Amino acid sequence: MKLLFLGDVMGRAGRAAVTERLPKLRDAWKLDFVVVNAENASNGVGLTSAHAKTLLDAGADCLTLGDHAFDQRE
């Protein structure tokens, strides 16, 4: 089984990197499961539902969170 763990996706630049590169990596490396730490994916603090959907649609199977998980109002 091939796993990929991506640590601390940070803000717009981090989301862009994941959405641009993850689909190609999944194919090239024949990944079975991808874990993305997304606690800072929304403006560097927390995670919104829209940004979570973006990361999941890009190919993440699971999003992990941390102490900033609920810093976004929504």
Active-site amino acid positions: 68
CA 45 to chain centre: 13
Contact 58, 34 (CB under 8 A): no
Beta bridge partners of 35: 5, 62
CA 20 to chain centre: 12
d(Cα 7, Cα 38) in Å, to the nearest integer? 8
